[in-house]
Amino acid sequence: MNVKNSFIATSMAVALAFGGAALMTAGSSFAYDQTSTAAINVDAGHVILKGYDTVSYFQGTPAMGDKRFAVEHQGATYYFASVENMKTFQSNAEHYVPQFGGFCAMGAALGKKLDVDPSSYKVVDGKLYLNVNAEVFKKWSADVPGNISKANANWPSIKDKAPSSL
């Protein structure tokens, strides 16, 4: 297989993976609005990370948050598993917010705004990155610095666009 055919085959595989991920997340009980131009990935109730506690990712094990420990930050409602985690977030919120508004890091690297699976994540250099599913996370992990660089370059031009327009 020559380089051009290899590139086309790889591109098709990535497109199919993202297409399958979109179908899988479409049936989710969490609203992912393909027409929203918001720079943050929240559900209809403005909850980010599908209710997971963002501080818990930095502690090594993502935990579901509790509505009793809720904090609004920049248009998103964060839930926390404990009052301690809530206070930790409040003391330095910018450290704990997910990158790319909580959208998929690999999607951002490819110029897309995709939903995420809260269990497909990695904390890199003190920042939280999420991906749409385990398969995409594996591809993203193959070149973390390169994919973060691409995502950082793309994010300013896609953050205020609707996912369906990308």
Q: For the chain, how many helices (H) and strands (E)?
A: 7, 4
What does the pLDDT average to over 17-38? 56
pLDDT confidence of residue 33: 82
Q: In this model, does residue 21 exceed pLDDT 50?
A: no
pLDDT of 89-147, one tens digit each? 999 999 999 999 999 999 999 999 999 999 999 999 999 999 999 999 999 999 999 99
pLDDT confidence of residue 29: 36
For the chain, give the percent of residues with pLDDT over 90: 78
